[in-house]
Structure 1
Amino acid sequence: MSELKITVNVDELIGVNKYNVDEENAHIELNKENLDEVDDAEFQKLVRVCPAALYKVDEDGHKSFDYAGCLECGTCRICCEETIVSKWDMPQPEMGVVYRCG
C-alpha cells in the first residue's frame, strides 16, 4: 500500500486571503521608529514566530516590519509585548484579513 503525501504551500494559501488595510490606523505598533535600534535577539523571536513573515531582516542586517499582511493571530503580542510590540489591537470593523481558504 503506497502512502499518500500531501504538500501544503503556506505562501500560496496565505496569498488567497484578502486584506482590507487600514492605512490610517495601524493595529500593531512597535516601540521604536528605527527598528535597527531594537535588540537583535528579541527581534529574531518575531522573525521566527510570525506566520505571515511580517518581521524581516535583510542581507545587511536591517530590520523591517509591515502590518499590512497580518493574519491577526496575536503571536507577536504574546512573544514581545514587553519588549518590542507597544500596541496590538484588533483592526477596526471591516478592516484586516478576510480568510478565503477552506
Structure 2
Amino acid sequence: MSTEPSVRVEDKLFYNRYLVDVGRPHIRVRAHKKPSRELLALLKICPARCYELNDSGQVEVTVDGCVECGTCRVIAEPTGDIEWSYPRGGYGVLFKFG
C-alpha cells in the first residue's frame, strides 16, 4: 500500500494555461441528431473534460483547457464525428511544468 499522497488529474490540469484563439476552435463536433457511441465515449475519456452533453442531448466541445492529447482524434475523428486540427501557432495549451 502506497503512502504517497493522491493527486487528482484536475489538480494537475489547473496549472496549465490555454491561450484561446477566439473564433478558430481546433476541434469541432459535427452536427448530429443522436450522439454516436464514439461521441458519448469522449464524455468519459477526455482527460480535460472538454466534452459535455447539452440540454438537447447533443455532445458539445469547449476547447478552452484542451491538452491536445489526441485521444478524441483517435476515437472520434475516424468516424467523422469531429473535425480536429492543431491550434494555430502560439495558441492552445501552455504547459506550466514540462
TM-score band, normalised by the shorter chain? 0.7 to 0.9
Q: Which has the higher helix share?
A: 1
Gaps of 5+ in 1: none
Distance in 2 between residues matched to 1:26 and 1:46, nearest whole Å: 17
One-letter amino acid of the counterpart of residue 27, structure 1: H
The residue aligned with 2:81 is 84
Asked if 1 retains the 8 angstrom alpha-carbon contact of 2:48 and 2:67, the reply is yes
Q: Is the contact made by 1:18 and 1:99 (CA closer than 8 Å) also made in structure 2?
A: yes
* Superimposed CA distance per residue, residues 18-72 of structure 1 (whole angstroms, 9 cap, x where no aligned partner): 110101211111211xx6x232533221112111001123688554321111100
Contact 1:13–1:101 under 8 Å retained in 2: no
CA distance in structure 1 between the aligned counterparts of 2:28 and 2:57, rounded to whole angstroms? 21
Distance 2:7 2:65 in 1: 19
Q: Which has the larger radius of gyration?
A: 1
Task: Return the TM-score normalized by structure 1.
Answer: 0.79
Q: CA RMSD in A?
A: 2.3
State the identity as a percent.
30
Q: 2:97 aligns with which of 88, 98, 101?
A: 101
Structure 2 gap segments, 5+ residues each: none
Q: d(CA) in 2 for partners of 1:88 and 1:48?
A: 18
1:73 corresponding residue in structure 2: 69
Match of 2:4 in 1: 5
Q: TM-score, normalised by structure 2?
A: 0.82
- Residue 30 of structure 2 corresponds to which residue in structure 1? 31
Could you say which residue in structure 1 is the equivalent of 2:49?
Answer: 53
The residue identity in structure 1 corresponding to 2:18 is Y
Aligned length: 97
